[in-house]
């Protein structure tokens, strides 16, 4: 009990400031909806094309640099459909001359052994000569060559990739910042790297407006947004970090708009991860993204190298895996997933058709106009009036 004889100041005279008193609300795809306005347009009049880091895209779709999603063959197929695939320079394509057996082993491993199988598969050394070969194979398949590496590997592989004819280099890490501090090694200087690289350098991933603006100032040709939203990623569970995608994309898009106002340079923003349905893609564009990067939705394609599975890029870590292998199944050709016809009613097929229909209903003829539509907080949007659909779930 409190000693009544001790002098003390009543709690009412003190100011107690708890961090949770100022928690900022953040929003994911299921928290918001897009509000129709005063105009609609014909779907055929919607234009989805853009110039992305000097590469013409017919659709705003990028394939994630994941071994279960991208190989030279799938990159060529996506290019033929109007998108762009990123090859993981630290994946099995750069470690094995014939990665097929390794991919088969990963896809068929039991749940109790998958982490050991992944760790063993990615313990093989990266072979510099295979990187040049894969870039040539991607070009031969009819695609521009977009490649991805972590900051630690970018210094080693960047110049060689440019020499071998890569068209775009993505420096991608769990969290990208404009200033990384390290006591045991010299971190990659993005400003120096973008200056000496003869090809555009995109950077990811971030969720912070100030960090994104600084990355743009240091020469990033595009900024990728998303920490932990991917279906095969466990970063949010393992490390407890991340910001829901609608808020993250909107914040970074605000930095892009400010940078454009100051410099006249438009830096594309890419929503990376967390999207499964056409409606999610539409919301990502409305939040401010210029393009979306898809992993698991494209891993479901018959042509995907993952054979109906997908796994996070940090899943092979032997010390602290931040991803897992998931079974997504093979549902049809990549063309059907992107352009239909859809054989399901849940929005996971004909993704581009859904985006086009959404834009038309919202009166948006271009991606820039789609970025201006109204977003409303609507947590009941997926359940309101859906009792018959939800019954039995």
CA atoms of 188 and 19, how far apart (whole Å): 33
CATH superfamily, domain 50-332, is: Aldolase class I (3.20.20.70)
- Cα separation values, 30 from 172, 230, 322, 376, Å: 26, 15, 24, 11
pLDDT tens track, the chain, 393 positions: 555 565 555 656 788 889 998 999 999 999 999 999 999 999 999 999 999 999 999 999 999 999 999 999 999 999 999 999 999 999 999 999 999 999 999 999 999 999 999 999 999 999 999 999 999 999 999 999 999 999 889 999 999 999 999 999 999 986 666 665 444 456 778 899 999 999 999 998 999 999 999 999 999 999 999 998 888 887 888 888 889 999 999 999 999 999 999 999 999 999 999 999 999 999 999 999 999 999 999 999 999 999 999 998 777 777 887 778 999 999 999 999 999 999 999 999 999 999 999 999 999 999 999 999 999 999 888 888 877 777 755
Query: What is the CB neighbour count within 10 angstroms for residue 386?
Result: 12
Query: What is the CB neighbour count within 10 angstroms for residue 133?
Result: 16
pLDDT for res 181:
43
- Beta strands at 309-311 and 325-327: parallel, antiparallel or unpaired: antiparallel
What SS3 class is residue 340?
coil
Q: Strand pairing partners for 323?
A: 233
Question: How big, in percent rounded to 5, are the helix, strand and coil portions of the chain?
Answer: 35, 15, 50
Q: Strand pairing partners for 169?
A: 147, 201
The conformation of residue 36, written as its DSSP 8-state character, comes to P
pLDDT for res 182:
44
The conformation of residue 30, written as its DSSP 8-state character, comes to G
**Contact in structure between 30 and 382 (CB atoms under 8 Å):** yes
Q: Tell me the CA end-to-end span of the chain in Å, nearest whole number.
A: 52
Write down the domain spans for the chain: 50-332
pTM confidence score: 0.92
**Contact in structure between 274 and 229 (CB atoms under 8 Å):** yes
Query: What is the CB neighbour count within 10 angstroms for residue 9?
Result: 7
């Amino acid at each position: 009990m409190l000693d009544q004889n001790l002098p003390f100041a009543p709690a009412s005279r003190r100011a107690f400031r708890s961090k949770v008193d100022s928690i900022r609300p953040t929003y994911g795809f299921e928290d918001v909806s897009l509000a129709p306005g005063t105009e609609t347009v014909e779907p055929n009049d919607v234009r989805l094309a853009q110039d992305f880091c000097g590469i013409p895209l017919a659709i705003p779709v990028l394939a994630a640099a994941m071994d279960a999603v991208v190989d030279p063959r799938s990159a060529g197929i996506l290019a033929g459909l109007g998108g762009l695939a990123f090859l993981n320079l630290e994946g099995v394509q750069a470690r094995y001359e014939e990665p097929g057996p390794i991919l088969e082993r990963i896809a068929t491993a039991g749940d109790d052994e998958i982490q050991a199988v992944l760790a063993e598969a990615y313990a093989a050394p990266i072979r510099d000569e295979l990187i040049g070969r894969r870039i040539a194979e991607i070009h031969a398949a009819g695609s521009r060559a977009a490649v991805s590496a972590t900051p630690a590997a970018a210094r080693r592989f960047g110049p060689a990739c440019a020499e071998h004819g890569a068209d775009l280099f993505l420096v991608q890490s769990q969290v990208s910042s404009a200033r990384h501090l390290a006591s045991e090694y010299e971190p990659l200087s993005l400003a120096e790297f973008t200056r000496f690289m003869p090809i555009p350098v995109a950077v990811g991933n971030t969720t912070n407006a100030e960090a994104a603006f600084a990355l743009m100032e240091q020469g990033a040709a595009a900024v990728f947004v998303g920490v932990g939203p991917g279906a095969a990623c466990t970063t949010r569970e393992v490390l407890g970090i991340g910001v829901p995608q609608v808020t993250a994309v909107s914040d970074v898009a605000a930095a892009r708009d400010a940078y454009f106002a100051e410099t006249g340079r438009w830096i594309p923003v890419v929503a990376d991860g967390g999207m499964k349905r056409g409606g999610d893609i539409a919301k990502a564009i409305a939040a401010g993204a210029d393009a979306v990067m898809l992993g698991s939705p494209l891993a479901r394609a018959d042509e995907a190298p993952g054979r109906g599975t997908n796994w996070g890029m940090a899943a092979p870590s032997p010390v602290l895996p931040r991803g897992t292998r998931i079974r997504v199944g093979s549902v049809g050709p990549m063309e059907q997933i992107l352009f239909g016809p859809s054989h399901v009613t849940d929005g996971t097929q004909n993704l581009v058709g859904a985006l086009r229909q959404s834009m038309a209903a919202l009166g948006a003829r271009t991606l820039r106009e789609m970025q201006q539509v109204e977003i409303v907080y609507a947590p009941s949007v997926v359940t309101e009036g859906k009792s018959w659909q939800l019954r039995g779930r």
